[in-house]
Structure 1
């Protein structure tokens, strides 16, 4: 009954759904290459190391298939059946844990076409597709189009974007935000359609590979996504391959072909309309009122069988029956015929020319700027945090006077302000994680690399971090009554700015290494705690033990910030000593003791600090900042 209800719901949705003209916008894309007629594969086998036994384990075992242009193939199977691994192989994406791979891909019947050729025409849509929530649907497509190609004119790009908006039924949502954690946007099904459309906005997509495009969607939304995929495949003569998880009957029937897998092996391949007849011919009649996908998954799934041994035996018998079936022979014949007709070379009618590095950087900067002022998580929350910190510091250390009683509070204020400004940079981690996930997707699809990512990310942060430094300093500096001269104030602003640049660069590096919010946050907090301990305030450099001094102290960016802020405050300032009945009592003995005054340099002497090294220290800070960024670039470059 549950299966009947699901099916009828989706069927009802099909009747009530708006009749969107899937042909709209075709003229905008009429120049696309149509030379990809088929994608076939034979004998695909992937072996990995088993996590538990550490022994080789075959997760895709001698799988064959063929999909023609304009067709949409469903890849169905229980969890662990090898679906995602096969999709990665078909999309020429590496499987990091693979020990060995074998088999042949045939593009237009040509065996083993060059990997760059396959990647230039293949687009992969992740199960959890990364989208920038602060952009509208139209902006998402526009930025992707700008990153994809430099061969089309602005008018062609706009026409293609508007055509895709119509083709995927997104006209009413075109100017709506995708949605952030704080601002509601489009629905889950609409996000899936935007994700697919963004992969088609370039001019070279001929093969579309999707990993669970209906995951997390209800039956109506799932049906809509697959329906639009089918329409676009028909119109543009695309090859669409999608893994699918328990689709409704109406969604299942939208597919042209089915590849059913279990334990890495093929259980069925062929037209969807033939699957019931195949299983009936080997003794497994499909119930009339049952969801076919549900029936097939129950049939080939051994994980929850009451009698696992008999279930495994039955699965083996069905696999043998498939290998001897007419469908298997027809598949082998079709693959052989495609290979026999292969032209020997694949020449695309149109080759996309990727934008230059400066063009990509400018596009990424533009996208990041839009995100920065729409998504409060990116910089708005941090501005509020730094403003709150400035008010707290300014009111706790309120209007300290130039007396010896204020010297230690001044030092505490300098340490606390500089250290916590960098510590609170950890709030940038969530925003960078979104950028990182977007980068991973776009890098895999060949849009740009680590160089453009790191440069654009660094440049977009500069004006915002300077604003943070200025706001923080304007509030805390004058309230605390630090060295009251314009030159000292702007020197302070400079060091706060460099502090934030270094702290954010550290966030980028650690989050790139460990792209998990909890792990990166813990590491950022630990690193800042270490820098606080060895920056010279807790233990003066003259007393710091050799290990921490030479291993950490000299490349601790907080060390240079604290030292130069101390020099800025004390090197040219004089403080009054305490006067008692017995006379003048100076906590620091300097050459002004006879005047009952303390020269600020006397305070610096206990740390070993002297003025005159600011230029050198700024250079070291820039080296640390650039070093963090280069290290992050290397991480992004080397990651698969």
Structure 2
């Protein structure tokens, strides 16, 4: 199976001349590798082996409702400095095994043991020692490549580098992964194009390497890369593994011959069962011993995948017999005995793992880092707040010109109340525009939490704090346009009170978006549910049907927890409490108040129709703050529970 050195070198040289290939300079490799090695020694994080024993995952088949085995008693062990490849046809269980090994949530019934240095460790400890690069690149689209690496380093628990050393490592990774030319390009947003898919893949791997993990799990790290780029990425990963004693497990699909030979070990899966596990340079001898020699001039990886893949076989029985023969050959193989013996040796002679404790200021350091990253995203990503500012500005112009220069005659009372309801309710409704931005933030958080970087509390707090100035800016812009065009009560106090209610309205609406999107992180579902909730709040807020006659069910179940109702109350009291209106030339007043003898209407008469009374501003503000806090706590709880 092995390839002659001359042939391998020639292949690499040919790949590197490809017009679509990326040249990877290596002048910074020594710096970054030495830096990582120094960190590892400083941290005293000694992980000598990762072993998994009789790992089994069983789920219920959706069609037959019978148990279906995804992984069937899979064993393996990878030692420090080794890179292990997981290979197999689609649906064989590679990603499930990666999730199982990395401590991530796996649906169904699971069994077996995951051992570090021969011992079981807590999920928290495991995540602080490991890092996971997912198949789908989860990156903040408005950050540049350099900023992505910088924030990844700043968020890492074990990062004790000075700023100078951190920048040196970033520069080394940019060169080693062929990203120097794209270092100041953004990742890419739906509106603005960024780097290519292959460059995103390399950025994902680099951003995890810079955090200094002792164990790395890579799900298709070469996806989207050409053969030369794939070879250089895996080659650099292997060099890092050797230099820093890392344990790396990577699923990979049909690598080139030269890339395949870079791996130290291979776990070959089919139908959830192990077909081979052991050194890559022994795979040829093993398959030859069971009657399936690897032909010359054939990519070994492609050959192995072909003979264990039964998805497209014409004769299913023949394919099943061949696969069973391969399985039986593995069960009889001395490599299986050696694997089981190595695992037992680790269990019988476990070694301690020293994990550095987190500093007490870590929470605040992470909070500042997340705020910094969110601030960059908020002003670069037009979807985050730019779209909403434009929408609300347009809404303010429309509202101000429709309800233009309302007067003090009684015929303007209904238009005033309509304008107040429209301004508060539709400002709240349009918060659905925040859903895409939050879902992107949530995806980034899920990935980074799974890698043990931070928890849901600091994420939810940073998300709340970064929105405060932008929502206040929106409230100011909207009010400056709509309030004065509409000729609402023309005093400074009334104007600032209006802004306060509008600001609280926006905070509550965004908190509702965060709560719903945290539970249902699917755009269409979140959009539908948020729109429905806002429609419900409009119905029971007290304008369409006054609280005095609102059905008792809707009143006592929903009206009192409706943030829009308190905003509407506050705004309408602010407008009518100290205002009077004329009854017209015939002195036929629409509302009977103590000013009827003067052919005028006191604003309190309007409030009486709704059952509102002045003097409750502090109470309503307190309730609104409680609702905002409640939504945020519920959003945090949904993220915390769904680990």
Q: Mark yes or no: TM-score above 0.5.
A: yes
User: For the residues of structure 2 that align with 1:550 and 1:424, how far apart are their CA atoms?
Assistant: 26
Q: Which residue is 2:618 aligned to?
A: 615
Is the 2:24–2:232 Cα contact (8 Å) retained in structure 1?
no
Residue 86 of structure 2 is aligned to residue 75 of structure 1: yes
Residue 155 of structure 2 is aligned to residue 147 of structure 1: yes
Of residues 12, 15, 20, the one that matches 1:13 is 15
What CA deviation, in whole Å up to 9, does each residue of 1:505-546 have, x standing for no partner?
Answer: 000000000011111011100000000011011111111000
What CA deviation, in whole Å up to 9, does each residue of 1:345-380 have, x standing for no partner?
Answer: 223486665852222211111111111111111111
Q: Which residue is 1:301 aligned to?
A: 309
Residue 525 of structure 2 is aligned to residue 523 of structure 1: no
Is the 2:124–2:452 Cα contact (8 Å) retained in structure 1?
no
User: For the residues of structure 1 that align with 2:290 and 2:57, how far apart are their CA atoms?
Assistant: 29
* TM-score normalised to structure 1 length: 0.92
Residue 591 of structure 2 is aligned to residue 588 of structure 1: yes
Deviates more, 1:162-171 or 1:615-624: 162-171
Is the 1:531–1:558 Cα contact (8 Å) retained in structure 2?
yes
How has the CA–CA distance of structure 1 residues 105 and 617 changed in structure 2, closer, same or farther, with 3 Å as cutoff?
closer
Is the 1:189–1:225 Cα contact (8 Å) retained in structure 2?
no
Deviates more, 1:214-223 or 1:424-433: 214-223
Deviates more, 1:481-490 or 1:292-301: 292-301
Report the alpha carbon displacement of residue 124 of structure 1 after superposing the two structures with TM.
1.2
Of residues 22, 38, 52, the one that matches 1:31 is 38
Is the 1:151–1:353 Cα contact (8 Å) retained in structure 2?
no
How has the CA–CA distance of structure 1 residues 11 and 285 changed in structure 2, closer, same or farther, with 3 Å as cutoff?
farther
Is the 2:24–2:175 Cα contact (8 Å) retained in structure 1?
no
User: For the residues of structure 2 that align with 1:226 and 1:251, how far apart are their CA atoms?
Assistant: 7
- Give the root-mean-square deviation of aligned CA atoms: 2.4
User: For the residues of structure 2 that align with 1:576 and 1:250, how far apart are their CA atoms?
Assistant: 89
What SS does the corresponding residue of 1:318 show, helix, strand or coil? helix
User: For the residues of structure 2 that align with 1:354 and 1:237, how far apart are their CA atoms?
Assistant: 29
Report the alpha carbon displacement of residue 631 of structure 1 after superposing the two structures with TM.
0.8
Residue 162 of structure 2 is aligned to residue 160 of structure 1: no
Is the 1:11–1:250 Cα contact (8 Å) retained in structure 2?
no
Residue 75 of structure 2 is aligned to residue 64 of structure 1: yes
Is the 1:364–1:456 Cα contact (8 Å) retained in structure 2?
yes
User: For the residues of structure 2 that align with 1:158 and 1:9, how far apart are their CA atoms?
Assistant: 34
Gaps of 5+ in 2: 1-8
Residue 478 of structure 2 is aligned to residue 472 of structure 1: yes
How has the CA–CA distance of structure 1 residues 460 and 491 changed in structure 2, closer, same or farther, with 3 Å as cutoff?
same
User: For the residues of structure 1 that align with 2:541 and 2:326, how far apart are their CA atoms?
Assistant: 69
User: For the residues of structure 2 that align with 1:27 and 1:90, how far apart are their CA atoms?
Assistant: 28
What SS does the corresponding residue of 2:167 show, helix, strand or coil? helix
Correspondence 1:513-592 to 2 at 5 A:
513-579=519-585, 583-592=586-595
Of residues 628, 632, 635, the one that matches 2:631 is 628
User: For the residues of structure 2 that align with 1:101 and 1:626, how far apart are their CA atoms?
Assistant: 40
Deviates more, 1:493-502 or 1:263-272: 263-272
Residue 197 of structure 2 is aligned to residue 184 of structure 1: no
Is the 2:37–2:243 Cα contact (8 Å) retained in structure 1?
no
What CA deviation, in whole Å up to 9, does each residue of 1:19-47 have, x standing for no partner?
Answer: 52233423322323363333233322223
User: For the residues of structure 2 that align with 1:287 and 1:92, how far apart are their CA atoms?
Assistant: 38
How has the CA–CA distance of structure 1 residues 9 and 588 changed in structure 2, closer, same or farther, with 3 Å as cutoff?
farther
What CA deviation, in whole Å up to 9, does each residue of 1:64-101 have, x standing for no partner?
Answer: 22223222211011222121121122212232x23231
Gaps of 5+ in 1: 1-6
Is the 1:74–1:257 Cα contact (8 Å) retained in structure 2?
yes
What CA deviation, in whole Å up to 9, does each residue of 1:160-179 have, x standing for no partner?
Answer: 33333333333333222222
Q: Which residue is 1:101 aligned to?
A: 111
How has the CA–CA distance of structure 1 residues 24 and 452 changed in structure 2, closer, same or farther, with 3 Å as cutoff?
same
User: For the residues of structure 1 that align with 2:623 and 2:345, how far apart are their CA atoms?
Assistant: 66
Q: Which residue is 1:3 aligned to?
A: none
User: For the residues of structure 2 that align with 1:8 and 1:53, how far apart are their CA atoms?
Assistant: 52
Deviates more, 1:367-376 or 1:174-183: 174-183
Q: Which residue is 1:236 aligned to?
A: 244
Is the 1:24–1:166 Cα contact (8 Å) retained in structure 2?
no
Report the alpha carbon displacement of residue 116 of structure 1 after superposing the two structures with TM.
4.4
User: For the residues of structure 1 that align with 2:189 and 2:160, how far apart are their CA atoms?
Assistant: 32
User: For the residues of structure 2 that align with 1:117 and 1:591, how far apart are their CA atoms?
Assistant: 72
Correspondence 1:433-444 to 2 at 5 A:
433-444=439-450
User: For the residues of structure 2 that align with 1:466 and 1:176, how far apart are their CA atoms?
Assistant: 31
Residue 202 of structure 2 is aligned to residue 193 of structure 1: yes
User: For the residues of structure 1 that align with 2:120 and 2:502, how far apart are their CA atoms?
Assistant: 56
Deviates more, 1:435-444 or 1:110-119: 110-119
User: For the residues of structure 1 that align with 2:90 and 2:358, how far apart are their CA atoms?
Assistant: 37
Report the alpha carbon displacement of residue 14 of structure 1 after superposing the two structures with TM.
3.5
Report the alpha carbon displacement of residue 384 of structure 1 after superposing the two structures with TM.
0.3
User: For the residues of structure 2 that align with 1:157 and 1:410, how far apart are their CA atoms?
Assistant: 59
What SS does the corresponding residue of 2:587 show, helix, strand or coil? strand
Q: Which residue is 1:136 aligned to?
A: 144
Is the 2:434–2:510 Cα contact (8 Å) retained in structure 1?
yes
Q: Which residue is 1:278 aligned to?
A: 286
What CA deviation, in whole Å up to 9, does each residue of 1:416-446 have, x standing for no partner?
Answer: 1111100000101111111101111111111
Report the alpha carbon displacement of residue 240 of structure 1 after superposing the two structures with TM.
1.2
Is the 2:54–2:111 Cα contact (8 Å) retained in structure 1?
no
What CA deviation, in whole Å up to 9, does each residue of 1:145-170 have, x standing for no partner?
Answer: 22213644333333333333333333
Is the 1:24–1:167 Cα contact (8 Å) retained in structure 2?
no
How has the CA–CA distance of structure 1 residues 545 and 116 changed in structure 2, closer, same or farther, with 3 Å as cutoff?
closer
What SS does the corresponding residue of 2:412 show, helix, strand or coil? helix
Is the 1:555–1:624 Cα contact (8 Å) retained in structure 2?
yes
Correspondence 1:394-473 to 2 at 5 A:
394-473=400-479
Residue 508 of structure 2 is aligned to residue 502 of structure 1: yes
User: For the residues of structure 1 that align with 2:361 and 2:526, how far apart are their CA atoms?
Assistant: 33
Deviates more, 1:161-170 or 1:470-479: 161-170
What SS does the corresponding residue of 1:123 show, helix, strand or coil? strand
* TM-score normalised to structure 2 length: 0.92
Is the 1:9–1:220 Cα contact (8 Å) retained in structure 2?
no
Deviates more, 1:423-432 or 1:302-311: 302-311
User: For the residues of structure 2 that align with 1:392 and 1:501, how far apart are their CA atoms?
Assistant: 22
